[in-house]
Amino acid sequence: MKTVMIKTHEAWLATLMAGFMSKTENKQVLFDFSNILFRHFNWLENEIIELEESYSYERDAIPIKVEKLSEMLNNIIHRLDEIDLQLLSSPDKNLDERISSDIKYMRDVLHTMKDEDITAFSMERKFPGIDLTEEATDALTLFLFEETYKEYELIMIYNYLKAHSSDAYLNRIFQILIDESFFHLKRFGDMGAKMGILAVPRVVMKELYQVEDVVQFLKDGINEELAAKEECKKLSEAVAKDSPELEKFFDFINHQENYHISLMTDALAYFAKKNND
């Protein structure tokens, strides 16, 4: 079961990366499939928790540097085949059937996808239609690497917290924060692909998501969101002269952080109230 979960984690990320690489109608289908695989990952995680087995979010590195989308699609199909085979050893046959049925459909669709040339690894660091200064390009490059990882890290942390909590109020907050981080991850991943610097976020260290003190984590998280707002502001100013479009985008991301801070503040207040009751 643990192996299936790890392989599903890897297949989810590989499919998400393929979505970033694509510039055609394949993109949305790949994003949808990556969402399905993320749900499988959650089902498997919940199953492991029910079986009271220990697990982690460790996984192997995922090579994605390809010249043609078909190479990546074949890689994903191979990953799905492996998961399907491993499912045979799982104790929950209903869960297996659901996952296996999804896999069969996704595999068939992936086989029929039209091929594309990939430019997501060109390292050109040029935004289509936008001429940034070298300084702004460097700042944007660093921001995309930092924040792509950070959003993935937040997804994994909130996902782990949600999987280990049965509190409906907190889980609602965690789910919103996961959805928000997915939105940011998708935007930053797309931008990374357009700049030719697409990369898989690195593995998150266990001690980050196996949170021992949730209150402290939320307090630190609010400070990190405030720091992220500053970064967005700096970046917005750095690109303003050359691209009003990017300036607006980073102002938008900056303002979105307010919502995250508000959600984390709500969660903190909830914990405080629970402790007082």
Q: Which residues bind other proteins (CB under 8 A)?
A: 58, 60-61, 65, 121, 123, 125, 138, 141-142, 145-146, 149, 197-199, 202-203, 205, 207-208, 220
Q: How far is the CB of 146 from other proteins (least distance, A)?
A: 5
Q: What are 68's strand-pairing partners?
A: 117
How far apart are CB 119 and other proteins at their closest, in Å?
A: 14
* Least Å from the CB of residue 158 to other proteins: 17
- When the beta carbons of 55 and 145 are compared against other proteins, the nearer one is 145
Nearer to other proteins, 121 or 271 (CB): 121
CB of 109 to other proteins, least distance (A): 29
> 201, 132 in Cβ contact below 8 A?
no
Q: How far is the CB of 241 from other proteins (least distance, A)?
A: 20
Instruction: Find the shortest distance in angstroms from Cβ 247 to other proteins.
Output: 22
Q: How far is the CB of 197 from other proteins (least distance, A)?
A: 6
Considering beta carbons, is residue 53 or 60 the nearer one to other proteins? 60
Minimum CB distance to other proteins smaller for 65 or for 68: 65
Select 149 or 249, whichever has its Cβ closest to other proteins: 149
Amino acid at 232: C
CA 192 to chain centroid, in Å, comes to 14
Query: DSSP letter string over 201-254?
Result: PPPPPHHHHS-S-HHHHHHHHHHHHHHHHHHHHHHHHHHHTT-HHHHHHHHHHH
Nearer to other proteins, 58 or 108 (CB): 58
Smallest distance from the beta carbon of 62 to other proteins, in angstroms?
Answer: 11
Nearer to other proteins, 103 or 185 (CB): 185
C-beta of 154 vs 199, nearer to other proteins? 199
